Structure formats: structure tokens, C-alpha cells
Amino acid sequence: HIVFTPKYRRKVIYNQYRSSLGEIFHRLCSYKGVEIIEGHLMPDHVHMLVSIPPRISVSSFMGYLKGKSALMMFDKHANLKYKFGNRHFWAEGYYVSTVGLNEATIKKYIQD
């Protein structure tokens, strides 16, 4: 279970940005063989329940996901650079928790 936010926790994940991010996340995860079990894009943060293969560390996957998705968002929506500048779409850091027996609980939490 991972959670991360746009820089300055801006409420920018809506309308066309929301659909673009959904497509981008699915594409990037499929490139790495990561399965998105559940996901929800909130206006000011992202929740994802993912299954990352053991050969990929969580930190390298998060660096890849946040870095590539930011570049792809700025390429697709050039007007974002005026709001964020310097091509930094995501805030530093992220939250991660491993999911064991409570997977159903986490899925329900993300859905709601």
C-alpha cells in the first residue's frame, strides 16, 4: 500500500489530469511487471495497493513511478509547468506499508 502527494499537496488530480495519471500509472506499472490491485486518485493524493515483484525494491519502484509519471504529465500537459516549475510534480517522500492478512481491509479503505 503506497500513498504519495503532489508538490505542496496541491489539489490538481481532477478531470483531464486524473484520467492522464490513471493511464500513466497503468502503463508504467505494466512496463515493470507491477500489478495494481487497487488504486484511487484523490484531488491531493494517490492511494495504490500494488504487488511489486521481489526483484524490484520499493524505493527504486517509487523513484521510477514518481519520476517518470511527472515527466509524462509535463509532456502531456505543458501548462502544469507554470504551476509547479522545474518539472517537480510530486512532493518528496511517500508512505508505504506492507499488506499481509489485512489486504481486504486495505482494499476497502482505498475504495472508500
Q: Is 109 labeled as catalytic in the residue annotation?
A: yes
Write the burial class of residue 45 (CB in 10 Å: 0-12 exposed, 13-18 middle, 19+ buried).
middle
What sign does the dihedral 80-32-46-9 (CA atoms) show?
negative
Which residues, at least 6 apart from 99, have a Cβ–Cβ distance to it below 8 Å?
Answer: 1, 49, 106
| Residue where the block lists cell 490538481 | 12
- Distances in whole angstroms, Cα of residue 14 to Cα of each of 17, 22, 41, 46, 77: 6, 11, 8, 12, 13
* Active site members: 109
